[in-house]
């Protein structure tokens, strides 16, 4: 039979079936039934049972509420939602054990007014934590945004078959909304046309949301479950009606308190409004708090940014390396010298959103140049930035009602640096830095309010007092005086009772069960006065109370309880006052982040000897002595060999690059792409000189291993990526192609690679670097004026090869594959046989019967090692398996083709003599 407590649990759980319910019981969060089984396994905590004596075996487990964050983090990382159910009332009963009795501690969250009651306390869910809605610093990476997305597709009319989402004009428009509730960043975007689905995937890759909402419409959009290749992302079907136009539009105008959304650049009937409105509804529903930090909504315009698909971001290793997916070895790891979390997040977003406006890029470059050239100024700015905390996310916690006193002190300690920072940059003659300076608000009213009210080192919790300074509130000071006097009197009672009873070991102590009490050891019980009231018997002592002790206990505890409640009330007032100024704080935080990014890029440029690129709207990319920004930092003690690059739309539009593996072809191509990308985010670049014409897209076709586990062959991956490039590249694009056609037969591969090169040259005219082992492609330079041949310099020395890493005009004379195989450690017998076969093939050599010599080998093996050894061959001479049994040699072919029956005897003898000479 269910108890009232379990009945309450079941009622709340019924409303949150898709979440693991953290059910607050005193100092613990308890989980029951299936939640307990699941959580105990993932969190590695003990699974127990409740109500066994009543014949109901209820699985349960629990964790202390004050250390819940690490446990919640584990569940969130596994893709679970966690519903936090708090006590909304207090009981005077004892604190609980892990077995889940009702408790007496107040909730750590100020979830409304609480009253003391007896019996079952009122509980409800105060917050639902999901991968995309977490705001706990322990659950977030401070250097990354934590986006949640909503996707809403507007179907074509008439609608297609249910669930069709294959990427080819099957929806009229797709709306996308992205929100980071920890920072308040809110972006919306619309996609339409034939590439809306592939474009959606690319945009999701750019922002990498942790959770994606889709309409829950009985499977109509079930293929939206496949919109991301990242299986760690939570795809969350959400109420269809929340996506409806009327509902979504109303939600947004009510949130922003506006008459319309025109000020944000949104139309009522745009799909991105449907997505944005549903997203705000979901956040409001899960957080159950004011979303005051979401102050604006920005329309993301792809026309402003260079577009990069998933393959390009991965292949260029912008955010993580291909090898193990870690940040180390990425471009971001090299250039990120930011001092603040806000700056780190902004740098990452800029890295994957290079600009297309030459004027805006130039503004950034000019600002970086000013800071690069003045090391004293740069160092002072960076030292001040280092003292600034993550005020964006502190503001988010203030908005959602979870900020504690330490957060407010962190905010105060950060914004007191703003006036000095503003003064430091106020004299700089630069447009962008001047704009940043004008956006910096001293926020002195906020820092003064916090400094006046909150102690410098407050406790983590806000419900147990000790956070408000003396002198801030008269009533609080009076209560503290009563508490101190009462505690002092209780200490005097202990001293007086020792003298009265003659018991030197007598102690006045306190616990939450009995309050204050007098403890006397068993040996001294005969000295206890008659007015002592016995409360508890222990093994070696007795505990007593007196009416006088209880009187002062009531004064002390009554005052302390009032102190805690008053301090919480005062703290909430301060937090609400700050909440009203959130827009000002966010504006300043954004300016700080922008300055941090500029100083970071200046520091990187100075440390690594980068140069300021020239940015223009020409169709030319010219790089002198370019270097790969990541590899040059990783080659400790080894000099990186720089190389030039010249690409345009005329005589240097397609560079065919040949040379052996490991020589540096991929490095050279990637470095050119990275230099272009770095220039367009406003960064200096690793080169002696660089002139970069604005590039609208960078495409890469390198490697296929990431997709093989998805059931796609190497060749299919190549063709899919090649098709994407050929269908979307323009004359302003940069294309990096590495070994097109390698996943099929040689002739097929050459044919496809040749046709792709011709198409790019003749139709697209995109600037292209094309690495290949097909030396036949070098002949394109003879017929296509925009094709140039280049190769990586290699030298041979004592049958070994030396990679010079220098790119030279002209094609490679050899592939050096056998030498590379030797470096890889292939057995010497294999190397020698490969050299023999290569010689046969290159010289078209034949044996005495007209067969290619490749069919036979002179390799000698021990007699018993090969099943191909002839029985009479004691020396172990092995005849290789004949690869050419279906292809007669030229002499045999000529003999078979001779019309002997119609030859004269003399003609037959002459033919025989001719064939014999050929064999010799």
CB atoms inside a 10 Å sphere around CB 525 = 15
Give one DSSP letter per residue of 473-534, joined into a string.
-HHHHHHHHHHHHHHHHHHHHHHHHHHHH--TT-EEEEETTTEEEEEEEGGGGGG--TT-EE
Phi/psi class of residue 662: alpha, beta or left (left: φ > 0; alpha: ψ in -120 to 50)?
Answer: left
Residues 6+ positions from 85 with CB-CB distance below 8 Å: 12, 21, 22, 23, 24, 123, 124, 125, 126
The predicted structure's pLDDT at residue 119: 67
| pTM of this structure | 0.82
Q: Is the pLDDT of residue 887 over 70?
A: no
CB atoms inside a 10 Å sphere around CB 904 = 8
The predicted structure's pLDDT at residue 719: 85
Alpha carbon distance 79, 848 (integer Å): 70
Q: Is the pLDDT of residue 395 over 90?
A: yes
Q: How many residues does the structure list for the chain?
A: 920
Residue 790 to residues 528, 781, 806: CA-CA distances in angstroms?
103, 11, 10
**234-239 sheet: strands from edge to edge:** 234-239, 211-216, 148-155, 171-180, 185-191, 298-299
Task: Look at residue 626 and give its three-state secondary structure.
Answer: strand
Tell me the per-residue pLDDT of 74-112, one tens digit each, with 9 for 90 and over.
999 888 999 999 998 765 433 333 333 343 333 344 333
CA atoms 35, 39, 42, 45: torsion sign:
negative
**What backbone torsions phi and psi does residue 821 show, to the nearest 5 degrees?**
-60, -40
Alpha carbon distance 633, 622 (integer Å): 23
Average pLDDT over residues 319-340: 94
The predicted structure's pLDDT at residue 638: 75
Annotation: CATH topology of 140-300: Nucleotidyltransferase; domain 5 (3.30.420)
Residues 6+ positions from 413 with CB-CB distance below 8 Å: 387, 389
What percentage of the chain reaches a pLDDT higher than 90? 58
Lowest model confidence (mean pLDDT) among 120-129, 280-289, 690-699, 736-745: 736-745
Higher pLDDT among residues 552 and 869, named by residue: 552
Phi/psi class of residue 177: alpha, beta or left (left: φ > 0; alpha: ψ in -120 to 50)?
Answer: beta
Annotation: CATH topology of 626-674+693-822: Rossmann fold (3.40.50)
Contact present, 392 and 183 (Cβ < 8 Å): yes
Alpha carbon distance 35, 43 (integer Å): 11
Q: Is the pLDDT of residue 881 over 60?
A: no
Query: Beta 298-299 vs 185-191: how paired, if at all?
Result: parallel
The predicted structure's pLDDT at residue 817: 64
Q: How would residue 843 be classed by pLDDT, with cut points 50, 70 and 90?
A: low
Pseudo-torsion of CA 755, 757, 762, 763, nearest 10°? 80
Residue 526 to residues 125, 542, 679: CA-CA distances in angstroms?
54, 11, 90
Q: How would residue 440 be classed by pLDDT, with cut points 50, 70 and 90?
A: very high
Give one DSSP letter per residue of 226-255, joined into a string.
GS-S-TTSEEEEEEGGGGSHHHHHHHHHHH
Alpha carbon distance 13, 468 (integer Å): 37
> Residue 611 carries which DSSP code?
B
Q: How would residue 878 be classed by pLDDT, with cut points 50, 70 and 90?
A: very low
The predicted structure's pLDDT at residue 826: 76
The closest of 585, 293, 597 to 415, measured between CA atoms, is 585
Give one DSSP letter per residue of 31-98, joined into a string.
EEHHHHHHHHHHHT---EEE-GGGT--EEEEEEEGGGHHHHHHHHHHTT-EEEEEEESSB-SSPPPPT
| Range list of β-strands (E), 819-888 | none
**515-521 sheet: strands from edge to edge:** 507-511, 515-521, 541-545, 533-537
Task: Look at residue 148 and give its three-state secondary structure.
Answer: strand
Per domain, the residue ranges of the chain are 4-129, 140-300, 336-443+581-608, 474-564, 626-674+693-822, 839-886, 888-920
Higher pLDDT among residues 4 and 588, named by residue: 588
Q: Is the pLDDT of residue 872 over 80?
A: no
Task: Look at residue 72 and give its three-state secondary structure.
Answer: helix
The predicted structure's pLDDT at residue 144: 94
Q: How would residue 160 be classed by pLDDT, with cut points 50, 70 and 90?
A: very low
Pseudo-torsion of CA 730, 734, 738, 739, nearest 10°? 30
Lowest model confidence (mean pLDDT) among 116-125, 312-321, 344-353, 836-845: 836-845
The closest of 485, 489, 500, 381 to 430, measured between CA atoms, is 381
Tell me the per-residue pLDDT of 780-835, one tens digit each, with 9 for 90 and over.
999 999 999 998 887 767 666 677 788 988 876 555 666 666 666 678 777 677 76
Alpha carbon distance 154, 159 (integer Å): 10
Alpha carbon distance 690, 255 (integer Å): 47
Per-chain mean pLDDT for the chain = 85
The predicted structure's pLDDT at residue 282: 96
Q: Is the pLDDT of residue 47 over 60?
A: yes
Contact present, 685 and 678 (Cβ < 8 Å): yes
Q: Is the pLDDT of residue 649 over 60?
A: yes
CATH class of 474-564: mainly alpha
Q: How would residue 194 be classed by pLDDT, with cut points 50, 70 and 90?
A: low
Residue 705 to residues 88, 716, 770: CA-CA distances in angstroms?
54, 12, 20
Higher pLDDT among residues 380 and 265, named by residue: 380
The predicted structure's pLDDT at residue 323: 87
The closest of 246, 294, 293 to 274, measured between CA atoms, is 246
Tell me the per-residue pLDDT of 518-545, one tens digit each, with 9 for 90 and over.
999 999 999 999 999 999 999 899 999 9
Q: What is the chain's Cα-based Rg?
A: 38
The owner of tokens 């009795």 is: 101
Alpha carbon distance 518, 513 (integer Å): 14
Contact present, 577 and 311 (Cβ < 8 Å): no
CA atoms 304, 307, 310, 314: torsion sign:
negative
> Which two three-digit tokens encode residue 342?
């806000």
Distance spanning both ends of the chain, measured CA to CA: 103
Architecture of domain 4-129: 3-Layer(aba) Sandwich (3.40)
The predicted structure's pLDDT at residue 811: 76
Q: How would residue 115 be classed by pLDDT, with cut points 50, 70 and 90?
A: very low
Q: How would residue 877 be classed by pLDDT, with cut points 50, 70 and 90?
A: very low
| Range list of β-strands (E), 756-832 | 767-771, 787-797, 800-809
Residues 6+ positions from 218 with CB-CB distance below 8 Å: none
**What backbone torsions phi and psi does residue 649 show, to the nearest 5 degrees?**
-100, 10
Burial group, residue 846, by CB count within 10 angstroms (0-12, 13-18, 19+): middle
Same fold, 336-443+581-608 and 474-564: yes
Query: Beta 734-738 vs 767-771: how paired, if at all?
Result: parallel
The predicted structure's pLDDT at residue 254: 94
Alpha carbon distance 737, 191 (integer Å): 27
Alpha carbon distance 589, 594 (integer Å): 9
Q: How would residue 51 be classed by pLDDT, with cut points 50, 70 and 90?
A: low
Residue 496 to residues 199, 501, 502, 541: CA-CA distances in angstroms?
82, 9, 10, 20
Residues 6+ positions from 339 with CB-CB distance below 8 Å: 382, 385, 386, 388, 596, 599, 600
> Which two three-digit tokens encode residue 148?
């949640």
CATH code reported for the domain at 336-443+581-608: 1.10.1420.10
Contact present, 267 and 144 (Cβ < 8 Å): no
Contact present, 297 and 180 (Cβ < 8 Å): no
Alpha carbon distance 79, 130 (integer Å): 8
Contact present, 699 and 725 (Cβ < 8 Å): yes
Lowest model confidence (mean pLDDT) among 29-33, 75-79, 910-914: 910-914
Give one DSSP letter per residue of 308-337, joined into a string.
--HHHHHHTTSSS-TTT--STTSHHHHH--
At CA 53, angle to CA 52 and CA 59, rounded to 5?
A: 15
> Which two three-digit tokens encode residue 706?
């990431």
Task: Look at residue 745 and give its three-state secondary structure.
Answer: coil
> Which two three-digit tokens encode residue 726?
């050929």
Count each helix (H run) and each strand (E run) in the chain, helices first: 28, 26
Contact present, 122 and 82 (Cβ < 8 Å): no
Contact present, 728 and 751 (Cβ < 8 Å): no
Alpha carbon distance 41, 313 (integer Å): 36
CB atoms inside a 10 Å sphere around CB 566 = 17
Average pLDDT over residues 251-276: 91
The predicted structure's pLDDT at residue 912: 79
The distance between the two most distant Cα atoms of the chain, rounded to a whole number of Å, is 149
Q: How would residue 844 be classed by pLDDT, with cut points 50, 70 and 90?
A: low
């Amino acid at each position: 039979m269910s108890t009232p407590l379990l009945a309450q649990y079941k009622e709340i759980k019924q409303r949150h079936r898709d979440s693991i319910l953290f059910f607050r019981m005193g100092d613990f969060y308890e989980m029951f039934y299936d939640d307990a089984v699941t959580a105990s396994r993932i969190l590695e905590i003990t699974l127990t049972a409740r109500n066994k004596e009543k014949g109901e075996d209820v699985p349960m487990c629990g964790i202390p509420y004050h250390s819940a964050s690490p446990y919640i983090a584990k569940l969130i990382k596994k893709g679970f939602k966690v519903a936090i159910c708090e006590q909304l009332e207090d009981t005077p009963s004892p604190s609980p054990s892990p077995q889940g009795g009702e408790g007496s501690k107040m909730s750590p969250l100020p979830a409304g007014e609480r009253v003391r009651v007896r019996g079952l306390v009122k509980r409800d869910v105060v917050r639902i934590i999901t991968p995309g809605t977490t705001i706990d610093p322990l659950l977030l990476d401070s250097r990354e945004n934590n986006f949640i997305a909503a996707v809403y597709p507007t179907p074509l009319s008439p609608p297609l078959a249910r669930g069709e989402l294959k990427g080819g004009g099957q929806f009229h428009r797709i709306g996308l909304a992205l929100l980071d509730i920890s920072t308040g960043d809110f972006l919306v975007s619309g996609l339409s046309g034939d590439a809306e689905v592939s474009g959606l995937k690319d945009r999701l890759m750019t922002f990498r949301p942790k959770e994606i909402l889709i309409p829950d419409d009985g499977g109509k959009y079930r293929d939206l479950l496949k919109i991301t290749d990242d299986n760690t992302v939570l795809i969350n079907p959400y109420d269809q009606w929340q996506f409806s136009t009327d509902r979504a539009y109303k939600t947004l105008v009510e949130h922003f308190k506006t008459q319309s959304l025109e000020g944000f650049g949104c139309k009522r009937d745009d799909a991105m409004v449907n997505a944005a409105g549903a997203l705000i509804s979901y956040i409001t529903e899960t957080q159950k708090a004011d979303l005051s930090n979401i102050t604006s909504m920005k329309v993301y315009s792809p026309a402003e940014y260079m577009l990069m698909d998933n393959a390009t971001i991965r292949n260029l290793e912008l955010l993580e390396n291909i090898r193990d997916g870690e940040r180390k070895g990425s471009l971001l790891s090299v250039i990120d010298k930011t001092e603040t979390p806000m700056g780190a997040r902004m740098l990452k977003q800029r890295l994957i959103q290079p600009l297309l406006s030459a004027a805006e890029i130039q503004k950034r470059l000019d600002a970086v140049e000013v800071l690069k050239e003045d090391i004293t100024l740069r160092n002072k700015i960076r030292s001040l930035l280092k003292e600034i905390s993550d005020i964006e996310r502190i503001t988010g916690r203030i908005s959602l009602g979870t900020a504690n006193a330490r957060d407010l002190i962190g905010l105060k300690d950060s914004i007191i640096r703003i006036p000095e920072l503003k003064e430091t940059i106020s004299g700089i003659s630069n447009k962008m830095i001047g704009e940043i300076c004008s956006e910096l608000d001293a926020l002195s009213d906020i820092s003064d309010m916090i400094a006046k009210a909150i102690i410098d080192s407050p406790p983590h919790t806000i419900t147990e007092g000790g956070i408000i300074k003396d002198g801030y509130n008269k009533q609080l000071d009076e209560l503290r005086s009563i508490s101190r006097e009462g505690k002092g009197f209780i200490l005097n009672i202990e001293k007086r009772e020792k003298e009265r009873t003659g018991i030197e070991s007598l102690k006045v102590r306190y616990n939450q069960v009995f309050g204050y009490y007098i403890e006397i050891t068993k040996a001294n019980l005969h000295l206890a006065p008659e007015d002592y009231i016995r409360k508890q018997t222990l093994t070696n002592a007795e505990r007593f109370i007196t009416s006088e002790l209880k009187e002062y206990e009531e004064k002390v505890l009554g005052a302390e309880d009032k102190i805690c409640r008053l301090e919480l009330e005062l703290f909430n007032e301060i937090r609400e006052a700050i909440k009203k100024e959130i827009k000002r704080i966010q504006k300043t935080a954004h300016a700080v982040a922008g300055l941090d990014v500029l100083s970071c890029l200046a520091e990187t440029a100075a440390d690594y000897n980068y140069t300021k690129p020239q940015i223009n709207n020409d169709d030319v990319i010219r790089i002198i002595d370019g270097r790969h920004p990541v590899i040059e930092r990783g080659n400790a003690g080894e000099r990186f060999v720089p190389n030039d690059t010249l690409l345009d739309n005329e005589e240097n539009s397609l560079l065919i690059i040949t040379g052996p593996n490991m020589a540096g072809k991929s490095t050279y191509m990637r470095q050119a792409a990275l230099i272009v990308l770095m220039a367009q985010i406003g960064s200096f670049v690793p080169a002696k000189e660089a002139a970069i014409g604005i590039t609208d897209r960078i495409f890469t076709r390198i490697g296929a291993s990431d997709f093989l586990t998805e059931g796609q062959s190497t060749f299919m991956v190549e063709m899919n990526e090649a098709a994407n490039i050929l269908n979307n590249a323009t004359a302003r694009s940069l294309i990096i192609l590495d070994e097109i056609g390698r996943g099929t037969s040689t002739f097929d591969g050459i044919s496809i690679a040749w046709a792709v090169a011709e198409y790019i040259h003749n139709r697209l005219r995109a600037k292209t670097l094309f690495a290949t082992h097909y030396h036949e492609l070098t002949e394109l330079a003879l017929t296509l004026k925009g094709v140039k041949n280049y190769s990586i310099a290699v030298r041979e020395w004592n049958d070994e090869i030396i990679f010079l890493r220098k790119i030279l005009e002209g094609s490679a004379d050899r592939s050096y594959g056998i030498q590379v195989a030797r470096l890889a450690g292939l057995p010497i017998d294999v190397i020698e046989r490969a050299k023999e076969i290569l010689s046969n093939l290159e010289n078209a050599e034949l044996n005495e019967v007209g067969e290619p010599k490749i069919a036979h080998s002179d390799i000698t093996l021990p007699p018993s090692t090969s099943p191909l050894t002839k029985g009479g061959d004691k020396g172990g001479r092995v005849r290789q398996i004949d690869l050419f049994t279906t292809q007669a040699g030229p002499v045999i072919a000529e003999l078979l083709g001779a019309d002997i029956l119609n030859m004269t005897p003399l003609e037959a003898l002459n033919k025989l003599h001719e064939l014999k000479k050929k064999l010799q």
